[in-house]
Structure 1
Amino acid sequence: MSSKSLKDLANETLPGAGEVMQGTPPPVDKRVTLENWDTPPFISWSFQNMAQIFPVVSVSRGKGPVARLDQNLQDLTGISVTRLDNSQTTVGGVLADTNTDGFLVLHKGEIITEEYFGGMTADTLHLAQSVSKSIVGTLAGIFLNSGLLDLGARVQTYVPELANSGYANATIKNLLNMQTGVQFNEDYTDPDAEFALLDMAAGWKDRITGTEPETIYDLLVSIAEDRRHGEYFQYRSIDTDVLAWVCERVGGARLAELISREIWSKIGAEKDALFTTDKAGTSLADGGFNATLRDFARFGQMHLQMGRFNDQQLASTEWFRSCRSGDSDKFKVLYSEFAEHYPRAAYANQWWVVDSEREMYAARGVFGQLICIDPATELVVVKLSSWANFLDFDRNIHTHRMIEAIANYLDAP
């Protein structure tokens, strides 16, 4: 499969995307709004132009040199991949079928493949969605390593404003592993779920009645406790927002400045990144981070190298290793379907552990955002996408199978 035919196929999977926000002015039915920005065909443009839709804050790359990424380009598109129904496709087929905007493979620190679709370029800042969580988790790891944070300390120790909330007695470890016992429904399609309130507080959706929390902080202090903390893993975005608030308190700065100071300026990022913010200037820690494809790859490579990158060690190798395995039993309580395919899956330090034994782990976000790290084959894969739906089990599994096929191909003698 040629690069041109791959791009043609990928572009065909999101009809009408090329007409969004085109013209001076764009036609009314092609304009991005708060109501349609995360739906087809608007979604691909939106994810590449968040600063034109929402208030944002810059995450500076600093003034240091860009960390060089050498190239050893190979055509991986013809590698065979087995779908869930046991039919065969290829790497190129998976990329085309999963609304890929950007795709980059690093093997042993070299770029093996780098592809852009749907108008995305090497300079585009693409929305990370919940890949943002793994960046915030890494910041917390740096603060744990320096002694600013204590895994066993309670949230209210760092943020007294949460003393009357459901988070008061949750520990930092509970936050990192998403094992809190708060009441928070993550159903993305339920307008009555607490997640809808988070969207409104973050400014991603309009408030409906005017009584909803106005800011992210307003929402955090209102969350109630539902069960004992630490019982099992339940994925809830708001845990990351609390973790970010804790990091801001111990770090003495807002989140964007902390990420710049502790991570982005140290990995030799090529471009400034950005966070979307609420009306109080608070970064959406759980999903509002935006960066280039290559800079996401640099972040992933830093993790692969146990925090050692660009002549700097961001935190201890022991902490980075702790991201690679977790408690599979606590994971399976609510996520048995994924565990059927990956029985050693877990969640640790705001990272999805694909296989605790192999130590493959990933940063994942809705609509198909992914940084996957496979230490066994020295592989980092970044895939930025614009799926039609928040979640798609088949596309998720097919993407992981594609990565495994690439790993096997590159690891073959």
Structure 2
Amino acid sequence: MKNLVFALSIVFVLSACSSDSSDNENQVITLNPTNLEIYFPPVNSNEWETISIEDLGWNSAGEQPLYDFLAERETDAFLVLKNGRIVIERYFGDFQQNDNHAWNSAGKTLTAMIAGIAQEEGFLSLNDSSAAYLGTAWSSLSTEQEAQITVFNHLTMTTGLDYDVDDIFCTDPECLLYKNEPGQFWFYHNGPYTLLDNIITNAVGQDFEDYFSAKIGSRIGMQGAWVSIGFNNVYFSNARSMARFGILNLNNGVWDGQTILGDATFLTDMKNTSQNMNQAYGYLYWLNGKDSYRVPGSEIEFSGKLIPNAPNDLYAGLGKNDQKLYIVPSEELVIVRMGGDAGETLLGPSSFDNELWGLLNDLMD
């Protein structure tokens, strides 16, 4: 019965944040590529400019193999945007444009940007001890050990907390044990990341979800909700909302003339290597084009690029069951994939990334 009530609660929340297609007819404006300055879809509207594969000079013969691959790999929604304009928008099975889907760990990118906004507004500093916002005894460490862990460590997966625990998602003090000095080892440990929600809430004096909505979500036209599932705080939205956030990233924190995040140093650091233990990790963003990378659940460093088939400057939000938000500045692309597990049940990067980019290269050739 408890599980049923929880499930119904999620349905209610997600229904409340969905657009009603009967009240707001979807509109598209087809555009020829004469002027491809970045486009921002209007807030509180389904209007969205499109541009065709043919007008871009892409290889239309690559479309069907791409769609077949996506359908075979449990995809629900797939979007490709060029300069903010929709090139491809496909939904599979019963999934529709206004349906909501979990971002899973791709939503870490939302937390990274809202942390940057909180710092820009003077509520916190990445160099602050996280104990300044979490209080003492938030872990099983001594007060002195807690004081050494900074907000920066939470943002970069370098807290030094023990990841060899039964539940890496657990945020209870008994799950947060000392293993290494902070900043000395990188491991994809979800519990310390989740505590960023409390850090931001206590720093700004406003509920995390409300602050996110006021500073990002409502300003760029995202619809969605943060839903507590176990220890995790998971963002749900439709695919177009994920695409809107991608456009905000592509335009360096500015939305249609409105500065959402203006701290150029934070933006640069967020999307570049944040520490010397995992070159492919920024502030909760995954980075391509580096000489080596580490992945969730492993202590091994792998040689080569994270996604060999993808452009070197790609950065991404990557979530469990292959939720994907790719941003490629050199190609002015935003690509969204939502759906079920594509075959490996991993928390972030997977072989699906490279296979997908092989097909995208065929399409864009």
Can you give the 5+ residue segments of structure 2 that lack an aligned partner in the other structure? 20-41, 292-311
* Matching residue of 2:303: none
Q: Does the 8 Å CA contact 1:381/1:403 hold for their aligned counterparts? A: no
Where does 1:120-199 land on structure 2 (aligned, <5 Å)?
120-162=95-137, 165-166=140-141, 167-185=146-164, 193-195=166-168, 198=170
Aligned to 1:70, what secondary structure does the other structure show? strand
Task: Evaluate the alpha carbon distance shift between residue 240 and residue 395 of structure 1 in structure 2; reply closer, same or farther with a 3 A threshold.
Answer: closer
Shift of 1:327: 5.1
Pairing partner for 1:51 from 1, 7, 10 = 10
Matched, 1:264 2:204: no
Question: How far has the Cα of 1:258 moved from its partner?
Answer: 1.4
CA gap 1:68/1:149 in 2 versus in 1, 3 angstroms: farther
Aligned residue identity for 1:153: D
Contact 1:59 1:260 in 2 (8 A): no
| Map of 1:313 onto structure 2 | 259
Is 2:221 the partner of 1:274?
no
Decide which of 287, 292, 310 is 2:238's aligned counterpart: 292
Query: Contact 2:156/2:274 (CA < 8 Å) preserved in 1?
Result: no
Letter in 1 for 2:242: F
Letter in 2 for 1:375: P
> What is the number of residues matched between the two proteins?
313
Task: Show structure 1 runs of 5+ residues with no match.
Answer: 1-31, 38-45, 81-88, 186-191, 199-215, 332-344
Candidates 326, 351, 355, aligned match of 2:273: 326
Give the C-alpha shift of residue 147 in structure 1: 2.2
What does residue range 12-411 of structure 1 map to in structure 2 within 5 Å? Answer: 51-52=10-11, 65-66=44-45, 68-74=47-53, 78-79=61-62, 90-162=65-137, 165-166=140-141, 167-185=146-164, 193-195=166-168, 198=170, 219-220=172-173, 222-269=175-222, 271=223, 273-277=224-228, 284-285=232-233, 288-316=234-262, 317-326=264-273, 329-331=276-278, 345-355=279-289, 358-387=312-341, 391=345, 396-403=350-357, 406=360, 410=364
How has the CA–CA distance of structure 1 residues 322 and 78 changed in structure 2, closer, same or farther, with 3 Å as cutoff?
farther
Whether the aligned pair in 2 keeps the contact of 1:122 and 1:292 (CA below 8 Å) is yes
Task: Answer yes or no: is the 8 Å Cα contact 1:59–1:256 preserved in 2.
Answer: no
SS in 1 for 2:232: coil
Deviation at 1:312, TM superposition (A): 1.5
In 2: Cα distance, 1:250 partner to 1:58 partner: 28
What residue identity is the alignment partner of 1:274?
A: A
1:6-65 Cα deviation digits (max 9, x unpaired): xxxxxxxxxxxxxxxxxxxxxxxxxx9969x9xxxxxxxx9xx9823x98897799x964
* Contact persistence 1:179–1:234 (CA under 8 A): yes
1:4 corresponding residue in structure 2 = none
C-alpha contact 1:304 1:374 (8 A) present in aligned 2: yes
Q: Which residue of structure 2 aligns with residue 16 of structure 1? A: none
Mapped partners of 2:362, 2:256: distance in 1 = 28
Distance between the aligned counterparts of 1:240 and 1:144, measured in 2? 17
Distance 1:51 1:164 in 2: 29
CA distance in 1 between partners of 2:361 and 2:333 (Å): 7
Structure 1 residues 163 and 56, CA, compared in 2 at 3 Å: closer, same or farther?
Answer: same
Q: Secondary structure at the match of 1:138?
A: helix
Structure-2 change in CA distance of 1:386 and 1:64 (3 Å): closer
Q: 1:220 to 1:296 in 2, by over 3 A?
A: farther
Whether the 8 Å contact between 2:318 and 2:349 is mirrored in structure 1 is no
Match of 2:307 in 1: none
Normalising by structure 1, we get a TM-score of: 0.66
Q: TM-score w.r.t. structure 2 length? A: 0.74
Among the aligned pairs, what percent are the same residue?
21
Distance 1:329 1:97, change over 3 A: farther
Measure how far apart 1:94 and its partner are: 2.8
What's the secondary structure of 1:370's corresponding residue? strand
How far did residue 181 of structure 1 move? 0.6
2:215 maps to amino acid: E
- Give the secondary structure class of the aligned counterpart of 1:95: helix
Question: Secondary structure of the residue that 1:241 maps to in structure 2?
Answer: helix
In structure 2, relative to structure 1, the CA distance for the partners of 1:157 and 1:392 (3 Å cut) is closer
The alignment yields a C-alpha RMSD, in angstroms, of: 3.6
- Looking at structure 2, the residues matched to 244 and 372 of structure 1 have their Cα atoms a distance apart, in angstroms, of 24
Structure 1's 329 and 397: CA in aligned 2 closer, same or farther, altered over 3 A? farther
Question: How far 1:158 sits from its partner (Å)?
Answer: 1.6
Change (3 A) 1:193 1:324: same
User: 8 Å contact 1:233–1:347 — kept in the other structure?
Assistant: no
The alpha-carbon deviation at position 79 of structure 1 amounts to 2.6
Amino acid aligned to 1:156: A
How far residue 266 of structure 1 moved from its aligned partner, in angstroms, is 1.1
Tell me, in whole angstroms, the C-alpha distance in 2 between the residues paired with 1:123 and 1:322: 34
Flag the 1:117–1:350 CA change in 2: closer, same or farther, 3 A. same
Letter in 2 for 1:289: Y
Find the residue that maps to 2:350 and give its secondary structure: helix
